[in-house]
Structures are given as C-alpha cells and as structure tokens.
Structure 1
Amino acid sequence: MPPLRQLLLGLATLAAGCAAGPSEPTIFSPAGITHPEALFDVTTRSAQIRSYSAGTGAMKGTRYCLRESDAPALAPLVGPSLAAVKAGGDSNNAARDMARALNATAFRVLLENDAEAARQAVAVLRQHADANAWIVAKPSWTNAAGVINAFPALLPAWQVLRQTPAATPDDKAAIEAWLTRLTAQADEHPGDNNLGTARGAADMLLGLMLGDPARYQRGVQTGFIAQLQAMRPDGSFPLETDRGLGALQNQSRNIAFLLYSAEIAASQGENLYGTKVDGKSVDDAIRFLLAAADDNALVDGYAATNRNPPKTEPAFRPGAQLDPFDSTSRGWAVLYTEHFPRSELSDEIRAHIKIGSRVNADAVGGNVTCYAKRL
C-alpha cells in the first residue's frame, strides 16, 4: 500500500473508531463460547495475522487475508438470499452468494477487528434466522443441496462472528436455532457423493459450536469415514469419477471436503489425515487425482459412464478431462501442504498445483489461507 494511502486509511480508521489497530486489544473473546477453537482458534489466529512483519512493516495477514476491495457488500444480497432455496434450482445460488459474502466479511473482521463490520454481518444473519430463510415445508433433494452448498462458507463465518461483541446472547440463540433447523433440511439429501462429505463437515463444525458431540461424530461417520469406505482401492470415488469430462473436477471437490473435515477434526486433536478405512486414506485419493490428471486413461474407464456430466461438456471423449486444478484444488492444496510441509506428497501437489497466496474456496471453509497459512 502506498505510504500516503496507508496514512489516510489509518486516520480514517482512527476517526471512525470502529477498527482496532494491531497493537490494540482484540475484539474477539472466547468467554462463554463453546469450542472457540473449532476449525481454528479465532483469538489466536487474529493476533497472529495482525502482528507486524519485520520484512514489510505490514500486518502479516495482509498477504493472505481477503483484500478489502474483494469483499462484497452485504446489503444488495439480502433480498435475493431471503427468497433463496425455496424455489430450488438456480435460486440456490443466492444462498451460496450470501454465505460467501458473510465469509468474506468475517475474515476481514479477523484481520481488521472491525466491530461495525461484525455488527452488520450479525444483523444479516439474525434477519435470516428471524425469517426462517432457505427452509421449505417439504424439501426436495434440490432444496437440501441448496443448504448444504451454503454451509461450507456460512459456518466458518459464524464461528468468527459469534466471538465478537456484535453477537448478543439473544442473537446467538436465534441464529444457532436457525442453523439447527437448516441441518434438518440438509438431511433430506441422501448424501452419498461429495454433498454427503460437505454435510458431514458441517455437522462436525456445528456440532462443536453447539456442544453436541453426537452431531460431531455423526458428521465424521457419514462424511469422512463413509467416503473412504466407498472409495475404490485405486483412490477414485465411484460417484465422482463417473461424471464424464468432469470426473477429475468432482474427485478434487470431494478431496477438498475431506481435508476440510480433517482440519475441523485436527482442531480437536483428532487425526483424520492419517485415518485409514480398509487400508485406504485420503492420500490415496490425492495420488489418484494427480496421476489421472497426468494420464486421463486412468479415469476414462469410469468417466465414460457419463452420468450427469458438466453442462458445458455433455459428450464424453477419452483423454479430455477438464482441468481439475481450479480454486477448489488450490484450497485443499493449502490445507495439505501447510499440514505436511515437507512430505513427498506435498511436493507432488506443489508440482501440479499453483497455490498462490490468497485462496478462496467454499469447499475448504471460504478464505482458507487466512485461517490456514503458516506465518
């Protein structure tokens, strides 16, 4: 940031009185919070990313947290979001977009300790809770999927925001009751593909926040463990790799949700990264993806089934898999390589995936580098 702009921003912040500087007390408090360390310790992480870099003189998190200019305004998204999911189909996107915006705001709050931004985000969540948003009387799989697809960005946002003064006890009770009702709708989906992995991760994180160990364990079993049970010995997921030219993209998406689940578990001292089911681990899924990306023949036998292929590529062709190394893969690559910085598999991941410093991927909790990057 140019010196003049940095000075003007500092003066504006001082005048507003709503954002704490790096040397000031944090706005976050774990007092009275159930599992404040779930996924990551919010107070500790905020202090880490707000500490100064000796090399640049800037807060360390400015290299990794979402830029202020990239965080969308919440207000324009509220109306469409309140009406979302109930119509199914494309209306689900409005719920996902709202969750993404709240996630972006939460991670800016993590860096800036901006009490006003936290207040606005909590108010939007309370509005959704009071309106019973996204919930239908007789949900279909589509309505359930709309909720499941919003959870990966929404729940980490709440984990951050609920630890600020903006969230009153009444807000917490109302919002968490709404989140619990949403999980009931999510249960309408059979959850046998990556949506089941995503729902399992949501149950894990929400179970911790609510102090519900049974929900947490259900998430581990119906998400992470169930996917390893279903995985073939070669590391491929049957209900992802039969998806035509999108087979490897779906394999990568399921890996992302598995590693997100493993990060939630790691916050509790549980090692899902090293868990094996019938001798199979998440490492096998990663190795299959990397090998099949190099040689599509490894996946073409499965992908030729062409079940529910990408709309942009409805016809199957051998050796023509869509590039699986998009933002989703960069997200899980951050988690894995930060967890195992010197492993041989991490080296292989880095050789295939250009990770970058800022990564925003729903499947791993939104703005992943801000909570996972080693400082």
Structure 2
Amino acid sequence: MKHVLAFLLLNLVAAGPAYAQAKVHGLFDVELRRAALAQPALTSVRAACLAIPRDPSWGSLKPIDGLKATEGYGTDGAANDYAWAVMVMTGRTLAGDTASETSLRDLLLAWAKAKAFENTAVENDAYYALKRVLLPTIVGYSVLQRGLDEGQRRLITGWIDPLVRKIDRTFDGVVDRNNHRYLADSVLMTWGAVTGDESLYAKGYDRYRTVLKEARPDGSLSLETRRGARALWYMRQSLTSLAVMAEVAATRGADLYGHRENEVNFDRIVSYLLNGIVEPNVVMAYASENYIPGGEQDFRRQDMGFLAKRSHGRHYMAWAEPVVARDRPGLATKRLKALFVRNLRSDRPLIDEFVGGNATCFWGR
C-alpha cells in the first residue's frame, strides 16, 4: 500500500504545474485519494465508497431556509437527509461514479441558488446544527470542484462562504470554548484550506493548540468530562474535531497529531477516552458535576452509544479511520487499532458529518 501511494505521489509531482493548479487542499488531498482508489490495492475501500446506493429521490430534497433553535436538549435535525445525501454521493463521486457526481453537483447548485440555511436562527444550538451540515458540504464541493465551470464554482462558493463566516460567532458562554467551538473551527480551517483563506485556516490551527493547552495532564477536557453520563461521549466529540484539524494540517505538511503542549498531545487525549471506555470509573469524579448530561441523569451510567451506528447509518467513531490509517507509533494508536478491529471495522463504511462524510472512503486502507 505504501509503495502504491509513493508511486502515485511521484507521478503527480512529475506532472508539474498542471497538477499544482488543480490541487485541492482541504480535509484530504482529493486528487491523490482519487488516484489511489483506482488502484487494485484499494479495491475493498473503493467498494466502501460505493456501499450506500444513490437514492434518486435526493434530487427532490427541498432547500431548507434556515435551521431552528430547539427546546431543551437536542439539535434541529431538519438537514439530516440533505447531509446524508451529500456524504453518500461525495464518496461515490470520489470513487468515480459519474451519476452520483452529476446528482451531487445538481443538489449543491440547487441549494446554493436557494441560499439554503441563510436564515438560520442566531442561537447556539441552531448554529451547531449549521456547523454539522457545513463540513460535509465543504468536502462535497472540494471533491466536485475540478468538474465545475467557473460560474458553478462562484455560485457554490458564494453560498458556502457567508455561511462559514456566520458560524464564526461567539455567544458569550461555554459554547465559545467547548466542543461547539472546536467544531466551528474545524469547519473554518477546512474551508480556509479549500479556498486558500489563511485567516480561516489559522483559526483551526490555533484552536487545536488551545485545546491541548487547556487539557488536564491526564488528557481529559474539563468542559466535556463534567457532562455527566455523556462525559465520554463529549470527549469523543472533541477528538473528532481535533482529528479533522490534524488531517487538514497534514495536507499542508504540518503534523498536529505529533504536536505537544505541556504534557498533552493528541495521543494523551485518545488514551483518556480509551481508558474511560474500558473502565468508566476513570471519569466519574469529573462526570459527577452532571452539567447538562442529556437524557440520562445518573452520571455513573456512561453513554457508550457512540460505539455503534446511529440514524441514517452514521457512526460517531468515524474519526478513528484517519488515525488508524496513519499507522502512527505509540500505545494510543495500538489501543485504538484494537478497538477498531473489535468494535468498528464490521460497521464500515464509517460515515459521519462531524468528520466530513465517508471516512472509510477518504482514509481507509
């Protein structure tokens, strides 16, 4: 596999300026991945890109004017069908399915013309729903980009760009510093990489370092582990956004996975989550604060639902795909691989909007 990717990379570099002009930075190197998926070594992964069929009814999805605030605990799920359609068709497009490419292009153009999501309520939970849908939309655009004409690119970017800038907002509360902010900055960073906006890219890069600085020496995140029965759930949520930021940085040759602030790096946070999965008592002292725990009020009953598929076939552990694929040294990676083989591999393809789509298709091997 390494030899195949090295060969492809050498050929792409040899192609010179023509390739450099077409190169798309973003969540992953689109053209390098497209070329790799065409090789026999990744036949099974290409099959994962195509595992979910394209639903013709997706072309009839009506643009959503805006996402709304919800009462109590939860997030507006009005855009779930749209996000699922985009994620499925993006993977299929990357694998060379021309029908999906046409459908994805038409869907994004239609929603761009309608200025979908423009009237999203200015509330933190409505904006959270918008952040969730923006990441797969950005990745879909990055995969489509080479086949769009200038007018189509302008239309789609003219729709996405103000939405991305809209979510760069503070609400003067905890959501400006917890997983809500991590998600926002992962979106800003990805869009910044796709469009070449260095100020947006820097938002995510700087946030990643801030998260490490604010983590406890044991790798726990104080604003997440206090969440009662969902303490580990939100630790996993934060790791997803950190993985997205690290992958975007990697397309530019920067190693955020290896970056350390004081005693903490990515592996330390992963290890804390894995320790909690094996022995939930690890998190109990923090979780006992029981701050907005969700439906389960007993902090001792840690929600491990993220280890299984959820609605629309999405999987909250999709972030493990790029980490495992990098084959990084260290005990944290070995333990994550063991969890992957034991609990996650049979659920492939792992698809999730928080990681931008079909993670098995984007990074799997």
TM-score normalised over the length of structure 1: 0.81
Which residue of 150, 156, 161 corresponds with 1:169?
150
* Aligned AA (1:283): D
SS where residue 217 of structure 2 aligns? Answer: coil
Query: Once the 2 structures are TM-superposed, how far is the Cα of residue 108 of structure 1 from its aligned partner?
Result: 0.3
The alpha-carbon deviation at position 187 of structure 1 amounts to: 1.9
Letter in 2 for 1:277: E
In 2 relative to 1, CA 75–274 (structure 1 residues): closer, same or farther, beyond 3 Å?
Answer: same
**For the Cα contact (< 8 Å) 1:30–1:163, is it kept in 2?**
no
Partner in structure 2 of residue 321 of structure 1: 302
Q: In the superposition, relative to structure 1, how do residues 274 and 144 fare at CA in structure 2: closer, same or farther (>3 Å)?
A: same
Give runs of aligned pairs for residues 301-340 of structure 1, distance below 5 A: 301-311=285-295, 313=296, 315-318=297-300, 320-323=301-304, 324-326=306-308, 328=315, 330-340=317-327
> 135-144 or 154-163, which moves further after superposition?
135-144
Separation of aligned partners in 1, 2:49 and 2:202? 31
**Map of 1:282-293 to 2, 5 A cutoff?**
282-293=266-277
Aligned to 1:285, the other structure's residue is in SS state helix
Query: What secondary structure is seen at the aligned counterpart in 2 of 1:162?
Result: helix
SS in 1 for 2:293: coil
Aligned-partner SS, 2:132: helix
Distance 1:129 1:63, change over 3 A: closer
Aligned residues: 331
- Asked if 1 retains the 8 angstrom alpha-carbon contact of 2:27 and 2:248, the reply is yes
Q: Residue 234 of structure 1 aligns with which residue? A: 218
Bigger share in helix: 2
Name the CA distance, whole Å, in 2 between partners of 1:149 and 1:68.
Answer: 20
| 1:75 positional shift | 2.4
Structure 1 segment 131-280 matched on structure 2, within 5 A: 131-136=114-119, 139-164=122-147, 167-190=148-171, 191-221=176-206, 223-280=207-264
> In 2, are the aligned partners of 1:72 and 1:101 still within 8 Å (CA)?
no
Structure with max Cα Rg? 1
> In the TM superposition, what are the counterparts of 1:98-137 in structure 2 within 5 Å?
98-114=82-98, 116-136=99-119
CA contact (8 A) 1:139 1:188 kept: no
Q: 1:121 to 1:317 in 2, by over 3 A?
A: closer
Measured after TM superposition, the shift of residue 112 of structure 1 is 2.6
Q: For the structure 1 residues 145 and 287, does the alpha-carbon distance in structure 2 shift closer, same or farther, using more than 3 Å as the test?
A: same
Question: Cα distance, 1:363 vs. partner?
Answer: 2.1
Runs (4+) off by over 3 Å: 29-33, 58-63, 70-73, 326-330
1:46 matched to 2:34 = yes
CA distance in 1 between counterparts of 2:108 and 2:189 reads 20
- Residue 65 (structure 2) aligns with: 83
1:202 positional shift: 1.1
How many Å separate the matches in 2 of 1:145 and 1:92?
9
Distance 1:203 1:317, change over 3 A: closer
For residues 46-65 of structure 1, the aligned pairs below 5 Å read 46-52=34-40, 59-65=43-49
Structure 2 distance, partners of 1:146, 1:203, is: 15
1:43 partner letter: E
Of 267-276 and 133-142, deviating more is 133-142
**Alignment partner, residue 25 of structure 1:** none
1:373 aligns with 2:364: yes
Would the aligned equivalents of 1:361 and 1:368 in 2 still touch at CA under 8 Å? Answer: yes
The one-letter code matched in structure 2 to 1:101 is: A
- 1:261–1:137 Cα change, 3 Å: closer
Gaps of 5+ in 2: 1-17, 310-314
